[in-house]
Structure 1
């Protein structure tokens, strides 16, 4: 669907809430390290976790450590690296094994970025990404390199907004959501997922298949989501209103 209504303000009653990070809770930046969590967002997510009695998780392509650092050791679950690692509020941390091939891939990507002005490399525990938001002219070359590296190493090629990533296969945001829904705090609740990118579509589908639904953040496009919000500002405002609704 491409033309979607906004989500109702009472949607989170009896829900388990899953939030993408970049492009959903914060605006996209040319480099991931430029992103910060301000007091408004930190307070909002903590209020949501309290109001939903812990039924909140951030599901991100970023590593768990990155999200944890941005939120200063938060009291909610985090699924990072597109579902390849999960951290729980009680300190448990599950993560797939890092293949040795990633070291070679990172080296090749850095060589490409050095020779291609504006391209940045993001190193992750279970993947590596080329960001070309500041160098759109390099999109085709970056995608071709990443595809070749993924094919040679037998790894997964992950597309995204102005980036391309080579990562460990075997998980995505949909499998992450399904796994988190099996946790005692979330089991039996209605999953609601918010995300902006095509990497978020598996989670939209998983939420729908488990009786809930997704909220697309950003411009209309083909999606499995049921609702849509215009962007980050609209998302934060809606989440604040939804939090108030939970308290009413």
Structure 2
């Protein structure tokens, strides 16, 4: 199998006041951990995000595979506009409550997946309510076999769920809902409407978000080595955090 060349790297642009900034979380803002519940959130990052939100007039949102409840807990006391579970649930701007956008795979299918995966050592099943994530970071050699097994379970169920690949994870999610659709929903609503959308993400699950912001005249800024036609703007999550920190520091110095 030929080795893919590392993507070209670019310097990320300086943020502009008219941006609507959309941020993936794991691998983009936070360093990847062995298990989802082991991630660490630097306390300085929460303050940086708060100040950046003010700079963008509130037009800064998380667009993540995590649930909104998880993100609120991780970034407490910050409560940003958020698309959780790849856009299956959303909290738009202002003080509006979170809402379920689509119906989840049935409880029966989620339980079938949990039962099947429990027979495989070192595979973690995370039932998020609207999506089910099957993590195999500890057993990367199982990726293709797990995909085939999950696809068969979905087919046998007769449901219209979708199987999505991520970094050492397969997610069973509702059809016709992705991060691109989440961005589109945000952009139709204040305070995002009329701004230039910018999406930062590190995984193939962010591809729909990249495509949507570009379709809307915005900018896609990949993190790490995604091997996509787009040039990588950030080496890792630490580089994204530094970029945001420098941005808000520049604001205080009058350099925005």
TM-score (norm 2): 0.88
SS at 2:57 equivalent: coil
The answer as to whether partners of 1:213 and 1:226 remain within 8 angstroms in 2 is no
> 1:226: Cα distance to partner?
5.5
* CA deviation string 1:117-167 (max 9, x = no partner): 110001112111110001113222211122122333221111111010111
Instruction: Quickly say closer, same or farther: Cα 1:137–1:167, change in 2 above 3 A.
Output: same
The answer as to whether partners of 1:12 and 1:242 remain within 8 angstroms in 2 is no
SS at 1:115 equivalent: coil
How many angstroms apart in 2 are the aligned matches of 1:62 and 1:182? 23
Matches within 5 A, 1:1-248: 2-8=7-13, 10-88=14-92, 89-99=94-104, 101-152=105-156, 153-219=159-225, 221-223=227-229, 225=230, 227-247=232-252, 248=254
The answer as to whether partners of 1:193 and 1:213 remain within 8 angstroms in 2 is yes
> 1:12: Cα distance to partner?
3.1
Instruction: Quickly say closer, same or farther: Cα 1:44–1:188, change in 2 above 3 A.
Output: same
How many angstroms apart in 1 are the aligned matches of 2:24 and 2:169? 16
Structure 1 stretches lacking a partner, 5+ long: none
**Range that drifts further, 50-59 or 146-155:** 146-155
TM-score (norm 1): 0.91
Number of matched pairs: 245
Structure 2 stretches lacking a partner, 5+ long: 1-5
> 1:186: Cα distance to partner?
1.2
How many angstroms apart in 2 are the aligned matches of 1:232 and 1:194? 10
> 1:219: Cα distance to partner?
1.9
Q: CA RMSD in A?
A: 1.9
The answer as to whether partners of 1:16 and 1:56 remain within 8 angstroms in 2 is yes
SS at 2:170 equivalent: strand
